[in-house]
Amino acid sequence: MTRQHWTLDDIPWQGIRHDTVAQTEGYFYLVASASLMESATDLYTENLIDYFYGDEEVTSWLEKYWLPEELQHGEALRRYVQVAWPEFDWEPARQRFVEEFKPYCDISLEPTRSQEMASRCVVETGTASYYRTLSRASPEPVLAMLTRHIAEDEVRHYKHFYRYFRKYRDVESPRRTAILPALWRRLRMTGGDDSFIAVKHVYSARYPGEPFDIGVYRRVRRECRQLVREHFPHEMSVRMLLKPLGLGPRTQRLTLPVIGAIARLVVP
């Protein structure tokens, strides 16, 4: 039996104000591209669940809690997009996104389970930071509320993955030098292919026939970044990113500026 912390019925959709974020193109890209990525979670879930075959605790949590919650994020963001930007044709954009994104989904697992858990911690750090940023930045109360709920889910996901990371770390005892590349690889992917492909299909649906390349992508990202940048929860992100490395407080302080710079990549 699944137990969600909130449902779509908890969101006052009729209360969405159209005079704030709906008028700002940057918010459209931030919310619409997230809705595409979240709604495609089931694409890369199967190989993740297969990878932990035999560990009932992990696989049943992934199936019963994590996946339904991620899909609900997609559902809720989709609904927000459809109310705030009704002219955006969501379903065809999603189909085109899925078609292009699918080949990237099978190849991204880490060589060991502890490294994969560390890598999942990075993903949840990225999403938690993204939605925390949006909820702080949004001048529109319903978007702020929705993204706050999502951010809380992502932090909870992180806590689960971190607990499983520790479980496998104790069994596999990987060296810290094996965890770092896993974190780095995943961090590099965040804001990489998936984000490029999502923004591309949001843009192409909005401006049919207009060419989309890396230059356009950078321009859109710059626009989004300017909008929300000052709300990025640096401290939270850094803490979440460093935790799997198990660094002492002194080393952590030394690496803060470096990781802080990296963390800024997480949110467009």
- Per-residue x/- track, 117-136, Fe ion (CB under 5 A): -------x--x---------
Rule CB under 5 A: say whether 116 interacts with Fe ion: no
**CA dihedral for 156, 50, 187, 7, sign (positive or negative):** negative
How many other β-carbons are positioned within 10 Å of the β-carbon of residue 268? 24
**Identity of the residue, 119 or 127, whose beta carbon is nearer to Fe ion in the bound complex:** 127
**Identity of the residue, 123 or 137, whose beta carbon is nearer to Fe ion in the bound complex:** 123
CA distances from 102 to 67, 69, 193, 223, 263 (A): 17, 21, 11, 27, 26
- Per-residue x/- track, 211-250, Fe ion (CB under 5 A): ----------------------------------------
The string of DSSP letters for 136-166 reads: HH-SSHHHHHHHHHHHHHHHHHHHHHHHHHH
Rule CB under 5 A: say whether 154 interacts with Fe ion: yes
- Near Fe ion by CB under 5 A, which window of 99-107, 116-124, 135-143, 188-196? 116-124
Q: Which of 129, 124, 112, 126 minimizes the C-alpha distance to 179?
A: 112
CA distances from 12 to 144, 166, 185, 223 (A): 12, 39, 39, 28
**Identity of the residue, 52 or 204, whose beta carbon is nearer to Fe ion in the bound complex:** 52
Q: Which of 27, 72, 73, 81 binds Fe ion (CB under 5 A)?
A: 73
Rule CB under 5 A: say whether 157 interacts with Fe ion: yes
262's tokens = 């990296």
Shortest Cβ distance from residue 13 to Fe ion (Å)? 19
**Identity of the residue, 104 or 212, whose beta carbon is nearer to Fe ion in the bound complex:** 104
How many other β-carbons are positioned within 10 Å of the β-carbon of residue 195? 18
Contacts with Fe ion: how many residues (CB under 5 A)?
7
State the residues that interact with Fe ion by CB under 5 A.
Answer: 38, 70, 73, 124, 127, 154, 157
